[in-house]
Chain A
Amino acid sequence: MRLSRSDRSMMQGSEGPAARLAMELLVATAEAEGAPGLLDITNAHIDGGLYHGVAGLDFARSLASAGGVVKVPTTLNVSSLDLLHPELYRGDAATAGAARELMDAYVGMGCSPTWTCAPYQLPRRPGLGEQIAWAESNAIVFANSVLGARTARYGDFLDICCAITGRAPAAGLHTDHGRLATLQVDLDFPDRLLDDDLLYPALGHVLGQMAGTEVAVLVGLDSRADEDRLKSLGAAAASSGAVGMFHAVGVTPEAGSLEAATGGARVRHLTVDLPALQRARAALGAGGGPLGAVSVGTPHFSARELRRLAALVEGRRSLVPFYVNTSRDVLAEPGLGASLAAIESFGATVVTDTCTYVTPIMQPVEGVILTNSAKWAFYAPGNLGVEVAFAGLEACIESAERGLLDLGERW
């Protein structure tokens, strides 16, 4: 691998022991993926602030105590604690202490305490062609696909190594070639489904299974696929598959045409039809049983989603615990006060800085947890040991108001 002079001097310790360790790990990983060299990044998003056990804390401590400081503007993914609503945390104090220490270690290295899985909803976000190093699978797919910024699928540890060195492997989704679609996915189902929010996470679930690690180009979406819908599509695809990027012809910035997305190459074709979408809905949770609770906002709700939720719950009352995940920055956006009041009088609990499926926040309930998020439906059964059902936002609210599970309109 070709390293620049400054890469080599960093690896020899010219910028201190933390930068040396970060560069060593970065180079070893870049070599493993066959990268020819490293490139400069302008921005990083770090997933290491979520507490998964002692190893993550040991690593953060080892970097922080060696004087690690990020070189580029760096945001932080969800943590294990809601610092704005600490009373919501139901886990043990020792874990909370370790989780807090982990958060402090990353902030101490110069990362911004944004604590959101949706950094693309922050005011300053990377633009078309910008080289960045992001972790958090849904953020990665959104940055690449919707913003046209360029990031590989970074994991915990490598993300902070990139941030400290300001470098990333010059490979894969960072390169023009690596961003070309190798799979065409045609949509063949009734057009009216494109008006349904639930279509997008269900389609994402199918896309992830079809694409695996490949870049796919979707043919058949249109302007109804707004940012919130593309967000849920990408989050689902990055859960059921290892999708780091997709194109949608006429919708995403690098897919003005099919040829632009594929580079003119002939690629294999797959089709998503109505039965495939129905199977996705079923796989994500179409069971019955009593309704225990509802969780929405995975990835974190945008201000627009909060407003929509508020409009839908106006004057209604939830009979079950109802959780809404969002970020502290979205919550602080001006003009949301009335919406938040409506959400509160519905009886919903707003969760920030973390998410209901990564930390003990939800109160124990009997029954199924209903969600509008394919990602939540995918991971919560394993993480929380709960039964999950999957439905659109309106059906989630309807169910909560009646205290009965209602999965909404069948397709």
Chain B
Amino acid sequence: MVGNGYSVLVGGAATGELLHLAEPLSLWGGLDPETGLIIDRNHPQQGESMAGHIVVMPHGRGSSSSSSVLAEAMRLGTAPAAFVVGQPDSILVIGSLVGRHLYSVSCPILCGPVPPRYPGTWTIDQNQLLPPVDAEGPNRSGM
């Protein structure tokens, strides 16, 4: 289950730009599933969109309702394309699994190190997190 340093909490393929969360976010009270925007006023990235992004989150926070919010965002098409978390988070995992079960929408979750902030479209494929094709640096092949 391990590909390039990440363990797969929920499998699947995804593409999107990275969104590094500066602080952990509880999706409940933190993500508006209607819009995909961060609404937690205590969060430094309030107002930014998570929709379609590969969201990088050191760990989850707060409410156990976050699974419902993730599944609802998956239903509405406003969910992140995927998550990269620093620690296993069963609240996100079950939200993603139920979203997939109900709506056949995928929101893979990888667990592992924080990827570098290369702009552009990243890819999760075959359980690997791949940087944009034009990204510079040594990590393109070996990450």
Contacts and interface: CB of A to CB of B under 8 A. Distances in A.
Interface of A: 21, 25, 28-29, 32-34, 47-48, 50, 52-56, 58-59, 62, 135-137, 140, 152-159, 161, 169, 212-213, 238-242, 283, 378-379, 381-383
Contacts of B88: 32-34
B71 A55 contact: yes
A238 B41 CA distance: 17
A137 to B, nearest CB: 5
B139 interface: no
Given A158-B91, A378-B42, 18 more contacts: A25-B98, A25-B101, A29-B94, A32-B10, A33-B88, A47-B65, A53-B68, A55-B68, A152-B90, A153-B90, A155-B90, A238-B62, A239-B63, A240-B62, A241-B24, A381-B41, A382-B29, A382-B39
A32 B75 contact: no
Contact of B101 (A21, A33, A135, A154): A21
B82 to A, nearest CB: 14
Contacts of A29: 90, 93-94, 97
A382 B41 contact: yes
21 contacts: A25-B97, A28-B97, A29-B93, A32-B109, A33-B90, A33-B93, A48-B68, A52-B69, A54-B72, A59-B98, A136-B64, A157-B71, A212-B24, A212-B61, A238-B63, A240-B61, A242-B24, A242-B61, A242-B62, A379-B29, A382-B39
Contacts of B66: 155-156
A156 B64 contact: yes
Interface in B67-113: 67-69, 71-72, 74-76, 87-88, 90-91, 93-95, 97-99, 101-103, 109, 111
Report whether over half of chain A's contact residues are helix, strand or loop; otherwise say mixed: helix
A20 to B, nearest CB: 12
Given A50-B65, A155-B66, A59 B71 contact: yes
B68 A156 contact: yes
Contacts of B75: 53-55, 58
A32 B90 contact: yes
A47 B67 CA distance: 10
Contacts of A153: 64, 90-91
A52 B24 contact: no
A72 B103 CA distance: 29
A156 B9 contact: no
Interface residue range, chain B: 35 or more
Given A29-B93, A58-B102, A59-B102, A242 B60 contact: yes
A158 B74 contact: no
Contacts of A169: 90
A213 B90 CA distance: 12
Interface of B: 9-10, 24, 26, 28-30, 33, 39-42, 59-69, 71-72, 74-76, 87-88, 90-91, 93-95, 97-99, 101-103, 109, 111
Contacts of B94: 25, 29, 155-158, 161
B97 A383 contact: no
Nearest to A379: B29
Given A55-B99, A382-B41, A241 B61 contact: yes
Contacts of B63: 137, 238-239, 379
B102 A62 contact: yes
A288 to B, nearest CB: 17
B23 to A, nearest CB: 9
Contacts of B39: 382
A154 B24 contact: no
B71 A159 contact: no
Contacts of B59: 212-213, 242
B132 to A, nearest CB: 27
Contacts of B109: 32
Contacts of B69: 52-53
A201 B103 CA distance: 39
Most buried by B among A56, A155, A156, A241: A155
A382 B101 CA distance: 29
B42 to A, nearest CB: 7
Contacts of B68: 48, 50, 52-53, 55-56, 155-157
A53 B74 CA distance: 11
A55 B64 contact: no
Contacts of B33: 52-53
B42 A283 contact: yes
B130 to A, nearest CB: 21
A154 B93 contact: no
Contacts of A62: 101-102
